[in-house]
Amino acid sequence: MEVVAHTMEYQGGHIASHLRLRNYSDFDYYAYKRIYEECFRDMRTALQRFPIDCCPGREELECKKEKIYILEMDGKIIGSVAIYGNEIDDLIVEKGAQRMGHGEALLRFAVSHMQSEHVSPIILHVADWNQRAIKMYLKNGFSVIKTEIV
């Protein structure tokens, strides 16, 4: 099955984020894996992308831990965002905490963080299937700069 994917670039203004996140640690693995797979399962199933559950392994996450930022509430992980170079990736929010502004807060944190380090352009990739995410990105200063079938 073909997947339509968009590359989006941040074209908004300066963002200040006061969100306090911490970096991923191996202690987070099982909670992170559960949320990651929960977030991508519906899309991967609909798009027939296998394996359906595709969270990176412990070793790979350990190598990326300085680039993965964890959002907690009351000592529980509810979301995460990764920043790899000039790309925002793996923005995830636990299903029960979605539609409460956490995804937008994670996105704004990532843009603010990248701006503070003078990273440009700021990009992300999103499947056309994920219209909720696309609407959030558009609302927050991102524009589609490329669409391709993968």
Tell me, what's the pLDDT at 37? 97
Q: Can you give the pLDDT of all 150 residues of the chain as single tens digits?
A: 789 999 999 999 999 999 999 999 999 999 999 999 999 999 999 999 899 999 999 999 999 999 999 999 999 999 999 999 999 999 999 999 999 999 999 999 999 999 999 999 999 999 999 999 999 999 999 999 999 998
Its sign, for the CA torsion 114, 115, 121, 127, is: positive
Closest CA to 122 of 135, 131, 112: 112
Report helix, strand or coil for 96: helix
Distance CA 109, CA 34 (A): 22
Q: Where are the alpha helices (DSSP H) in the chain?
A: 29-46, 58-64, 102-116, 131-139
* Residue reference for tokens 């027939």: 48
